[in-house]
Amino acid sequence: MFNEFDDIYQQVARQLGHWAQAASRLSKLEDLASLSAWESLGLYLNTALKNSLQQSLTRLQQNALIIQSQLDEAKSVNQLKHLEIQLDKFKRKYLQTETMLDFYTDAINTRTNNDMAALLRACDSIAYNSMKMILEPLGKKTPPVLTYCDKGLGASILKAGLRLWDGKTQSPAAAIKVVRHNLYRPTALIHESGHQIAHMLNWNNELANVLYNQLKHHSIEIAELWAGWTSEIAADTFAFVHTGYASVAGLCDVVSGNSDFIFRYQPLDPHPINYLRVLLGTAMCRYYYGEGPWDQLERVWKRKYNIQDAPIEVQELIWQSLPLLKEITHICLQIPLKSFRDKPITYWINPNRVNPQHLFQLTEQAGNSLYNSDYWVSKESIRLLALGGYQIATNPQQVSKTLEQQRKWMLKLGRTLQVA
């Protein structure tokens, strides 16, 4: 005889058994990424990631136990129908947790062999130290960094501290994508670290207000335009103060393309018009270093891309912005902000550290040991990145040699960190 309670009970029990067992299997993290891949992270990052992911899995499994307990005690059809709703929510939580685990374990699994693991550990360290240089004196804790290698044109970041797919777990690390074509020239790492810094220090909002207030006497439209681009401008500024011209040349090589791409403008896009973005970078170089190879890059850039090829409305934005680039540069590099304890960012990170002359002095000081000494590759990894990027930009005939040199010192750094 038909019994509605028994029928629904069987359906709920079967589905709960399936999803509870699936959640239990997720808890075996070594099944998702190999033990060697986990070990390649180093103790600090390994522990931070595993603890965070395990907390999320524990919450999921506890949720399953609660539903099972309620099912065991159910006495009515209405109670079972309520549990069907709870089970649907549990399934969604499972899928969200699975997405989160897949993201992190896929990232870890890009450390496919010892060399790749060492290179990515070096990237972890470079990004971490770029943040530590400013966060530590400001009394902030530097988040761990997990870099991973993937396809594509540009880098990206999942910032530490953000809510993840399950709605509960906070991202335990700054997860930064390094694209394959830039693995030995990863100045974009510092750009992405800049996004993390801006998030932690409220840099974006403050810089947006300053840009708007400083530029509005020229044009409200232009002030709103540049204030709307603040998140990318701040990250570009962070990359510049750490790596100088290397970051500008690297940006130029990534954003180069046809005129439609160079002059693309979308009102809600946080990325500046590429034409102006590169010129802001060369303006920063000129502001700090005077004349140099960035002037040649700028001349070629302007010859290659004719503003007349841009849509009419974009032409007007560019013509109004060009005379303001020096002022915008000054705002980004020299205006004191509360984010930086009423100091400019250059008080904490001096771009002159990567002035080409100072980079050459570094090579003279360290001599042959610069790329071969554990001390130098650990102490000066960011300036080595700046130096390599500068050499690639100014001496492209030696690009293969320079990239091989970059690869070797990054491997050395990564292997040193593994030993440590």
- Give the distance, in angstroms, between the CA of residue 172 and the centroid of all CA atoms in the same chain: 14
What is the rounded CA–CA span in Å between residue 199 and residue 10?
Answer: 49
Paired residues of 170 in beta bridges: 163
Measure the CA angle with vertex 39, ends 35 and 45; round to 5°: 125
Paired residues of 149 in beta bridges: 178
pLDDT tens sequence across 340-358: 999 999 999 999 999 999 9
The tokens for 392 are: 């690639």
Residue 3 has pLDDT above 70, yes or no: yes
pLDDT at 34: 78
- Comparison of pLDDT for 104 and 275, the residue scoring more: 275
pLDDT tens sequence across 187-223: 999 999 999 999 999 999 999 999 999 999 999 999 9
Burial (CB < 10 A; 0-12, 13-18, 19+), residue 363, is: middle
What is the rounded CA–CA span in Å between residue 27 and residue 58?
Answer: 8
pLDDT at 417: 87
Residue 337 has pLDDT above 70, yes or no: yes
Q: For the chain, give the mean pLDDT.
A: 93
Decide if 164 contacts 170 (C-beta within 8 A): yes
- Cβ contacts of 100 within 8 Å, gap of 6 or more: 53, 56, 164, 165, 166, 169
Is 81 among the domain residues?
yes
Residue 1 has pLDDT above 60, yes or no: no
Q: Could you report how far apart the first and last alpha carbons of the chain are, in Å?
A: 70
- Alpha carbons within 13 angstroms on the beta-carbon side of residue 108 total 25
Q: Which residue segment(s) compose the domain that 80 sits in?
A: 4-109
Q: Which of 61-65, 133-137, 195-199, 291-295 has the lowest mean pLDDT?
A: 61-65
Is 21 among the domain residues?
yes
What is the rounded CA–CA span in Å between residue 15 and residue 6?
Answer: 14
How many residues appear in the chain? 420
Q: How confident is residue 46, by pLDDT bands cut at 50, 70 and 90? A: confident
- Classified as helix, coil or strand, 163 is strand
pLDDT at 77: 87
Is 79 among the domain residues?
yes
The tokens for 207 are: 């810089």
List, edge to edge, every strand of the sheet that includes 174-179: 145-150, 174-179, 156-158
Lookup result for tokens 């159910």: 74
What is the rounded CA–CA span in Å between residue 342 and residue 201?
Answer: 12
pLDDT at 420: 58
For the chain, give the percent of residues with pLDDT over 70. Answer: 99
Is 305 among the domain residues?
no
| For residues 266-295, average pLDDT | 97
Residue 419 has pLDDT above 80, yes or no: no
Decide if 126 contacts 191 (C-beta within 8 A): no
Is 99 among the domain residues?
yes
- Classified as helix, coil or strand, 172 is coil
Looking at the structure of the chain, the number of domains it has is 1
Is 414 among the domain residues?
no
Residue 2 has pLDDT above 80, yes or no: no
The tokens for 395 are: 């001496």
Residue 397 has pLDDT above 70, yes or no: yes
What is the rounded CA–CA span in Å between residue 322 and residue 11?
Answer: 67
pLDDT tens sequence across 155-182: 999 999 888 888 888 888 999 999 999 9
pLDDT at 193: 97
What is the rounded CA–CA span in Å between residue 95 and residue 93?
Answer: 5
| For residues 69-86, average pLDDT | 90
Decide if 97 contacts 166 (C-beta within 8 A): yes
- Give the distance, in angstroms, between the CA of residue 60 and the centroid of all CA atoms in the same chain: 28
Is 304 among the domain residues?
no
Kindly give the residue spans of alpha helices, DSSP state H, lying in 136-202.
188-201
pLDDT at 204: 97
pLDDT at 192: 97
Q: Which of 71-75, 149-153, 165-169, 313-317 has the lowest mean pLDDT?
A: 165-169
Is 395 among the domain residues?
no
Measure the CA angle with vertex 19, ends 25 and 100; round to 5°: 60
pLDDT tens sequence across 25-39: 888 887 788 788 888
